[in-house]
Chain A
Amino acid sequence: MNFLNQTLLLLKKDLILEVRRRENLLTMFFFGTLLLFVFHFSFDLVPERVVEMAPGLLWLAFLFTGTLGLAQLFEAERGNHCLEALLLSPMDRGALFLAKTAFNFILMVLVEIVVIPLFWILFNLGSWDIIPHLFLVVLLGTIGFCVLGTLLSAVTLKARARELLLPLVLFPLMIPVILGTIRCMEAILRAGELGDALPWLRLLIGFDVIFLTVGILIFDWVIEV
């Protein structure tokens, strides 16, 4: 079975499990929406300030929601020595990495599809034309988050206080993605197009490509029995 098929098979397994139990998706949805409300009460979001703060707030919401998903990422493999079984099988471990990354990515995108329009409505951000452009940038950022997050989720698998340790190691390394997406989103919100923010987009894409490659190559050593 070639690499791509392995990846798709593993991904399908996780998706089927998710469809049946829906626990990850629902908690992530709920948490993401809840954060929007908390933001409204925490920050005085008058219309003039919303546009400035919107990208940052959205990203905060996605970061925390995504971290929830990451913590649960390898839960399915915990019991019954599933992980050991997977590792003993002739599956390419890079495929496992890609499948897990894709799984978290799909979950996050589903949440984003709901949260972004919701954010738009709740905070009266104006015309809907730019949402697709915004969404594209968010997608690129989400890829970066999922790639690095899956790697670090696997790395911290056997650590104590894992729920605290994972964000602690992940967030500093995410800074290029955070800065990149927010700068791009700002530009889009202000001018409807990237303009000056184009270098940031390139940085974002570069980040995604680099760590996707690194992840696939290095995953052999990340997950060990």
Chain B
Amino acid sequence: MGAWGFVFLAYGIVWCAILIYWFTLKRRLRRAETELAQLRASQE
């Protein structure tokens, strides 16, 4: 694997991981927000 191979390996892993984390975070947020909205609706 040439030098650029390693560079892209590192950059690839890093940005994929960050994107995956961001997407899962977004999903957790969406779920939590819907649950909260339901609770608020049922309690008000």
**Do A and B come into direct contact in the complex, CB within 8 Å?**
no
**Partner-A contacts on B (CB < 8 A):** none
